[in-house]
Chains A and B, each alone.
Chain A
């Protein structure tokens, strides 16, 4: 894994660091600063560097994230997409995406989504009480009503979207409520993130909850409820874990291979590995910015930056330790560096709470279900 570089599969562009809401568990340090917006010249320079790279494949995901992208007007993205599309090499298929809190979605936004077939993920933590407990405006008001209004506009136009839910300790007794809520909305997929200790968020209610047994129970209940629904909807975490189990290799862990993910901050700062590393400052004050689009002659310049060399060596030491110590390594590939750093202060550590909740629990659940005598795999063209 030490010798792997790329291919580039995902570019995360931070069009703005600002967010119009202020979630309790958010990791972004500058989310109240409206001034931190990526100018179009930076978009163009980032596109030039990426498209000139020898590490491109024939498909690329470009996601606007790490701040609320919809606080920048649709015209900005029309212009940005035009710049990117004009610069892209022939034969490269680009899939654009937004991860949004949904509160600002209106007809003009959906027009833009439709024009460019943009993949939309809406962050929605479940029924009102669960959602509003953490996803609040700065005046303390919950964002549920406005997020749901955005979702209803998508539904009215028949525009597909997936949802991502952040689970907290409060969610763990509400598996049935969550399944009923999400199934009513009809998303294409449901992602279940966990409240993480990460950057600005220094505490997780989930990490305290019952040593993981309560989370195991929650996943079991959720899968049981989901399987009983008439219409199957993808639960991202089950499907991707099953995909890892069925077809995964350790080297598939994009978070520990340079340039699989390229992260561009609003000011052109460049990073790789986990996108959240852009926002993180280590306990020793070090940052994980490995260059800037204005200073790099080629994207691979960041691989020679001293900060990269040091971080990569530490990450790979951690991966090697995971391989030696963890029997889940085959379907994990060495974990998530940003969570190792946030939980242990080091990039070369091994198991984290994040590992237990997002990897081990799901692998165990997949293996359990698939090993029952009456379970079987089926392949269908449609559901």
Chain B
């Protein structure tokens, strides 16, 4: 049995880890290249938020009781964060 593939997609305020899980099948690099140009970026973002909310229906913010920590710096170095939040 092949294992699913996972990418760390973010952290929550309490230090939990949000992962994007992908099927082990059919994910060569070609499938990671962006497509979907028929839809605008805002509408694709809306679809993604809907998908996240569908997975965690308890809250409008996306992850049940867990508020996604929005790490928004553009910086060229990672910001300081409590070490505990970085330990997966």
List the interface of chain A (C-beta within 8 A of B). Answer: 9-10, 61-63, 65, 95-97, 99, 117, 119, 121, 160, 162, 164, 175, 188-189, 191, 193, 216-217, 219-221, 223-224, 226-228, 230, 232-236, 238-240, 242-248, 252-255, 261, 274-276, 327-328, 330-331, 333, 335-336, 358, 361, 363-372, 374-383
Contact = CB atoms under 8 A, between A and B. Distances in A.
A121 B10 contact: no
B37 to A, nearest CB: 9
B1 interface: no
B34 A368 contact: yes
A328 B34 CA distance: 14
Interface in B47-88: 47-49, 51-52, 55-56, 61-64, 66-83, 86-88
B11 to A, nearest CB: 7
A382 B14 CA distance: 12
Interface residues of B, number: 66
A220 B33 contact: yes
Contacts of B9: 238-239, 242-243, 246, 377
B80 A119 contact: yes
Contacts of B31: 224, 368, 372
A191 B22 contact: no
A245 B70 CA distance: 9
Identify whether the interface residues of A are mostly helix, strand, loop, or mixed: mixed
Interface in B8-55: 8-12, 16-23, 25-36, 40-42, 44-45, 47-49, 51-52, 55
* Residue from A63, A188, A242, A328 whose CB has the most chain B CB atoms within 10 Å: A242
Contacts of A383: 6, 8, 17, 19, 88
Nearest to A118: B80
A12 B28 CA distance: 40
B34 A365 contact: yes
B8 A234 contact: yes
Interface of B: 3, 5-12, 16-23, 25-36, 40-42, 44-45, 47-49, 51-52, 55-56, 61-64, 66-83, 86-88
Given A376-B55, A377-B56, A378-B21, A239 B72 contact: no
A228 B52 contact: no
A63 B80 contact: yes
A243 B70 contact: yes
A245 B88 contact: no
B42 A327 contact: yes
A283 to B, nearest CB: 22
A257 B74 CA distance: 12
B40 A327 contact: yes
B7 A235 contact: yes
B47 A371 contact: yes
Contact of B29 (A9, A224, A232, A236): A224
Nearest to B23: A374
